[in-house]
Amino acid sequence: MLSKLDRALFFQEQALTLRAARQQVLAGNIANADTPHYKARDFVFATALQRALSNRGSEAVRLATTSPRHLAGSGDVAPTAMLYRQPGQASADGNTVEMDVERSQLAENSIFYEAGLTFLSGQLRTLSSALQGQ
C-alpha cells in the first residue's frame, strides 16, 4: 500500500525538491551580486527532473577512506550539473549576476513551487477521500 502511495507522489516530491534546490541557487546568486568575479550559476530544471525520475540522480558518492577507522559515509550530490549563466552585459568587476534576470527567475521558480504545492495538496485530498470512502 505504501509503495503505491509513494509511486503516486514521487513526481511531485522530486519536482518540489528540485524547485527548492533551484531557489537556493538563485538566492545564492542574488546574495553574491556584489562579489567581484562571482559567476552566476543555475541548472536546467527539466533536465534535472528527468534525471531524478529515471533514478540516475540518486547515485551516492562513495568517500575515499585511507584508514580502517574512517567512516564510509556518503556525500551529497548536486541535483544536476550546475551551469554558469552567460551575462547579457559584462560587469567591470567580472561578476556575472544580473539582478533583473535573477529576480525574474526567482519569481518564476516561486510560482512553480507554489503550483506544485497546490497540486500535491489536491492529490493528497483525493487520496484521503478515497481512503475514507467518501
Give me the number of domains the chain comprises: 1
Contact partners, residue 17, CB within 8 Å, separation at least 6: 52, 79
Q: What is the pLDDT of residue 47?
A: 92
Q: What is the pLDDT of residue 56?
A: 46
pTM equals 0.78
- DSSP state, residue 88: S
Q: How far apart are CA 131 and CA 59, in angstroms?
A: 34
C-alpha closest to that of 37 among 84, 98, 94: 94
Task: Render each residue's pLDDT in the chain as its tens digit; 134 residues.
Answer: 667 778 778 899 999 999 999 999 999 999 999 999 999 999 999 999 998 888 644 555 566 778 888 877 655 555 578 999 999 887 899 999 999 999 999 999 999 999 999 999 998 998 889 888 86
Q: What is the pLDDT of residue 57?
A: 44
C-alpha closest to that of 48 among 70, 66, 65, 25: 25
Q: What is the pLDDT of residue 116?
A: 95
Q: Which three cell numbers stand for residue 1?
A: 500500500
Q: What is the pLDDT of residue 74?
A: 55
Range of the domain at 86: 2-132
